[in-house]
Amino acid sequence: MLSGNEIRRLIGEGKLSIEPLDDEIIRENGVDLRIGSEVAVLLNNPEPVDPERLGEIRVEDYYKVFKAEHFVLQPYMKVLVTTLEYIKMPVDVAALVAVRSTFARLGVSIPPTIIDAGFEGEVTIEIHGGAFPVVLRRGMRFAHVAFYRVEGEPVPYRGKYQGQRGVTLPR
C-alpha cells in the first residue's frame, strides 16, 4: 500500500494525476474521493438483464440519471455516482476503493471497486443506503482509495470505460 508521501511523489513526477487536486484529500495511506454532480438511481425494473446482451436492451430504462448538488440516499436505495476527480493511473499502480468510515457508521456501503493500473477517467461508484436516509452532497469526501504497486509485468487497462466522464452505465 502506498503512503500519502509516495502518492504525492507520484503526482509530483506526473506519473499519477488527480484533477481537481486538493491537498486535503491526500491522506496517510490513500486519497479521499469526492462526490461529483451526476447520480443514477437504479430502478426496480421487472425485466431481467442479461449482462452478455447489454447491446440488445435500453440500459437507460433501468436507471434514472440526473445532476444534483445534493440528494437524499433513501434506506436500502442503490445509486451510481461519479467522482469529482478525474484520475490517470500509472501502469504499475492499481487501487481499491472503500467507503469512508463516517459513512460506514451511517450504514452506507459500497461494493468492492477496483481502479485498474493504467485507467483514466472519473470513477463510477455504486453506493448502497442503510437503515435511514442520508444526505449526500457534491464535493463531499465519501470514498477512500488505497493504492498498490502491481508486481510483475504490468498490463495496463484498455477497457470500454477508459476516459469516462459522468456516471457511466453498464456497456
In this structure, is residue 166 part of a structural domain? no
In this structure, is residue 33 part of a structural domain? yes
Spacing of C-alpha 86 from chain mean position: 10
| Non-local CB neighbours of 34 within 8 Å, separated by 6+ positions | 25, 83, 84, 85, 138, 139, 140, 141, 142
Q: Is 85 a catalytic residue?
A: no
Enter the pTM of the model.
0.91
In this structure, is residue 155 part of a structural domain? no
Cell output for 104:
460506514
Total number of domains constituting the chain: 1
pLDDT tens profile 26-49: 999 999 999 999 999 999 888 899
Report the CATH number that the domain containing residue 113 is assigned in CATH. Answer: 2.70.40.10
- Across the strands, what pairs with 141? 34
Per the model's pLDDT, the better-predicted residue between 120 and 59 turns out to be: 120
In this structure, is residue 49 part of a structural domain? no
In this structure, is residue 83 part of a structural domain? yes
Instruction: Please give the pLDDT value at position 154.
Output: 86
pLDDT tens profile 107-164: 999 999 999 999 999 999 999 999 999 999 999 999 999 999 999 998 899 999 999 9
Cβ atoms of 95 and 145 within 8 Å: the answer is yes
Domain of 18? 4-44+60-149
Spacing of C-alpha 71 from chain mean position: 17
In this structure, is residue 170 part of a structural domain? no
In this structure, is residue 127 part of a structural domain? yes
Task: Choose the catalytic residue: 38, 126, 151, 153.
Answer: 126
